[in-house]
């Protein structure tokens, strides 16, 4: 464990000595995460891969502030995370849109809570709808959208709040392969256009390598960071990137880390 | 996941690992084939959940009203039942026209409808906020669910004598019966509707900056509203029942009172006419509330 991470103000997201216990029956607890030290620089795209039950979704809940860590600290630019807030937008696998609000009104939700004019809100919503390619669906209700479209609305809704970091919890896990690949290209574009920091959790190693600049491998019970792989692929990635030997080598090394701890 | 029994060779070749770590599992060789099964097309009338086609559906819907009516016609026309007990449709219509002409039907109907509006309004004003609180906060649920769960099994009609002692013979005791009859059920059903709001949606809202007050106003209330209206629709039917029951005792107006009056003079044709009016008003209330719900909850359809 690296304790010097606790001291001094650093930029970006910093988890130091984080652990999380859940209750398991009477008076017993089960540790799901232990000794988590992670640093994410502003603007970075980091993927966390791990098997089901490795605690990766819990890790995102902790960063989002939805659950308190049992031990350790979580901070952005040295300021401790104490609860959920619009500086850390979370998108989960099912998206969870407001079903009674139109697509545009969904994206506007966070902005409605801020003292900005109606015109400025509308302009911002329009920009994000354009960015995620859903301008034509502004007035549609979420029930009419496909799975991929819904996830794009959820991402636009989180980004409209201009978070320090966008937290994605297996956002494409329920999509078919083709849609998933489109969404990955889309997410790379959004990340490059907005410069936002992204921490994404996934069990799909190929997805992690394709998207991230750095991949953290979470493994074991309780989950610990079993390894870290820097993805040295070029910035302009496309579907052909997946067939390069470099891509396969990265994928293999991460899969080995997952299997052998 | 690697297991301790695994050999070094298996560790080196992860692609060849078997789920049972390579132990032999041969018992399947001497099994006989499973008994033959016949695959049949499911019977349209008996297969659960299969939609029936348009024609039969409307025929059955019509029959559901027409058949009981024809049984009534047949019973009274053949004289199988004494007309004092079972008035004919013709006598019922005549009694209806009679009461409508004298104006008493309108007066009684308005009196009953007014009681339902007031009583059910009071019940809603109590049960919606309380139920909403119970569905929103664990402490409200823990504090109120046991007592409401108990009290709702006390029949409101059993309280009529007590309520007359407490509140007198006038309007308050009648409204109280109605309120007692629906307020507890509606509270629990509203709480249930509010608890349907997905936790993940609330969490997503919080990461968009929603405070608890915003969650209640902009997330939980709109999400639960169709469910709350559904609860009100079910309990409006109960309220309509209770108003008639309340009017059976010590009332001087209302449809329930008209039934008791008619009973005193053995005017069963009038009782039948009143019952039909009660049914029609109930259906009208239900349809109105359903239209309202469909308007509010268009997104849920």
pLDDT, tens digit, 9 for 90 and up, residues B90-106: 999 999 999 999 999 99
Using alpha carbons, list the distances in angstroms from residue B51 to A12, B43, B46, B206, B301.
Answer: 57, 12, 11, 42, 18
Contact between chains at B219 and A98 (C-beta distance less than 8 A): yes
Query: At residue B283, does pLDDT exceed 80?
Result: yes
pTM of the full structure: 0.82
Nearest to A88 among B198, B207, B299 (CB): B207
Residues of A in contact with B217 (CB under 8 A): none
Residues of A in contact with B16 (CB under 8 A): none
Query: At residue B9, does pLDDT exceed 70?
Result: no
According to DSSP, residue A25 is labeled S
Q: What is the mean pLDDT of residues A128-140?
A: 89
Q: What is the pLDDT of residues B126-177, one digit of tens each?
A: 999 999 999 999 999 999 999 999 998 888 888 888 888 888 888 888 899 9
User: What is the count of residue pairs from A and B with beta carbons less than 8 Å apart?
Assistant: 73
As a whole number of Å, the end-to-end CA separation of chain B is 44
H/E stretch holding B236: helix B221-247
Q: What is the pLDDT of residues B177-188, one digit of tens each?
A: 999 999 999 999
CB distance A125 to A160 below 8 Å: yes
Average model confidence (pLDDT) across chain B: 87
Nearest to B208 among A92, A100, A110 (CB): A110
How close B274 gets to chain A, by Cα (Å)? 42
Q: Flag whether the ipTM exceeds 0.90.
A: no
Hey, is the C-beta of B16 within 8 angstroms of any chain A C-beta? no
CA A74 to the chain's CA centroid: 16
Q: What pLDDT is stored for residue B138 in this prediction?
A: 92
Q: What pLDDT is stored for residue B94 in this prediction?
A: 94
For residues A179 and A97, the model is more confident at A97
Q: What pLDDT is stored for residue A2 in this prediction?
A: 43
Q: What pLDDT is stored for residue B15 in this prediction?
A: 57
Q: What is the mean pLDDT of residues A1-15?
A: 62
Q: pLDDT band at A178, cuts 50/70/90? A: confident
Main-chain dihedrals φ then ψ at residue A153, nearest 5 degrees:
-65, -45
Query: At residue B5, does pLDDT exceed 70?
Result: no
Report the percentage of chain B scoring pLDDT > 90.
56
Nearest to A66 among B14, B203, B218 (CB): B203
According to DSSP, residue A100 is labeled T
Q: What pLDDT is stored for residue A6 in this prediction?
A: 47
Residues of B in contact with A169 (CB under 8 A): none
Residues of B in contact with A98 (CB under 8 A): 201, 219, 222-223
Hey, is the C-beta of B198 within 8 angstroms of any chain A C-beta? yes
Q: What is the mean pLDDT of residues B49-74?
A: 90
CB distance B179 to B123 below 8 Å: yes
Query: At residue A258, does pLDDT exceed 50?
Result: yes
Query: At residue B125, does pLDDT exceed 70?
Result: yes
Q: Please tell me the distance from the alpha carbon of residue B49 to that of residue B58, in angstroms, as a whole number.
A: 17
Contact between chains at A94 and B200 (C-beta distance less than 8 A): yes
Q: Which of A66, A155, A159, A222 to mutate to test the interface with B (most CBs of B within 10 A)?
A: A66
């Amino acid at each position: 464990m690296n304790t010097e991470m606790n001291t001094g103000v650093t930029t970006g997201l910093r988890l130091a000595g984080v652990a999380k216990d859940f209750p398991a029956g009477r008076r017993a607890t089960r540790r799901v995460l232990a000794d988590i030290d992670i640093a994410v620089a502003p603007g970075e795209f980091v993927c966390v891969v791990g098997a089901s039950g490795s605690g990766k979704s819990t890790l995102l809940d902790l960063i989002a502030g939805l659950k308190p860590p049992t031990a350790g600290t979580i901070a952005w630019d040295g300021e401790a995370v104490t609860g959920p807030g619009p500086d850390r937008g979370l998108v989960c696998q099912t998206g969870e849109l407001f079903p009674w609000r139109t697509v545009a009104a969904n994206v506007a939700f966070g902005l409605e809570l801020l003292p900005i004019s109606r015109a400025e809100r509308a302009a911002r919503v329009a920009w994000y709808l354009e960015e995620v390619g859903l301008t034509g669906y502004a007035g549609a209700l979420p029930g009419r959208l496909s799975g991929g479209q819904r996830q794009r609305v959820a991402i636009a809704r989180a980004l409209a709040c201009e978070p320090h970091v966008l937290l994605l919890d297996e956002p494409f896990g329920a999509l078919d392969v083709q849609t998933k690949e489109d969404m990955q290209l889309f997410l790379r574009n959004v990340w490059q256009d907005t410069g936002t920091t992204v921490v994404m959790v996934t069990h799909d190693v190929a997805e992690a390598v394709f998207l991230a600049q750095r991949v953290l491998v979470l493994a074991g019970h309780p989950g610990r960071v079993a390894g870290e792989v820097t993805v040295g692929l070029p910035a302009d990635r496309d579907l052909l990137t997946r067939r390069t030997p470099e891509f396969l080598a990265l994928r293999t090394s991460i899969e080995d880390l997952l299997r052998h701890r | 996941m690697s297991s301790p029994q695994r050999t070094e060779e298996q560790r080196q070749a992860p692609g060849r690992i078997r789920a049972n770590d390579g132990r032999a599992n041969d018992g399947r060789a001497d099994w006989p084939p499973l008994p033959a099964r016949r695959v049949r097309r499911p019977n349209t009338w008996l297969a659960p959940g299969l939609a029936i086609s348009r024609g039969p559906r409307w025929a059955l819907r019509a029959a559901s009203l027409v058949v009981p009516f024809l049984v009534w016609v047949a019973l009274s026309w053949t004289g199988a039942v004494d007309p004092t007990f079972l008035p004919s449709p013709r006598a019922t219509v005549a009694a209806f026209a009679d009461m409508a002409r004298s104006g008493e039907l309108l007066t009684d109907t308005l009196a009953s409808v007014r009681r339902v509006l007031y009583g059910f309004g009071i019940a809603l004003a109590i049960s919606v906020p309380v139920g909403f609180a119970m569905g929103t906060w664990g402490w409200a649920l823990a504090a109120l669910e046991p007592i409401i769960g108990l009290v709702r099994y006390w029949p409101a009609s059993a309280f009529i004598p007590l309520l007359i002692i407490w509140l007198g013979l006038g309007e308050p005791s009648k409204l109280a019966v109605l309120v007692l009859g629906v307020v507890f059920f509606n509270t629990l059903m509203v709480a249930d509707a509010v608890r349907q709001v997905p936790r993940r949606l609330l969490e997503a809202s919080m990461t968009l900056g929603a405070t608890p007050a915003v969650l209640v106003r902009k997330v939980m209330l709109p999400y639960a509203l169709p469910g709350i209206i559904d609860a009100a629709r079910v309990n409006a039917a109960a309220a309509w029942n209770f108003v008639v029951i309340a009017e059976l005792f010590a009332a001087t107006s209302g449809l329930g009172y008209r039934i008791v009056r008619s009973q005193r003079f053995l005017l069963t044709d009038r009782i039948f006419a009143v019952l039909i009016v009660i049914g029609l008003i109930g259906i009208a209330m239900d349809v109105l509330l359903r239209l309202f719900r469909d308007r509010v909850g268009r997104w849920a359809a």
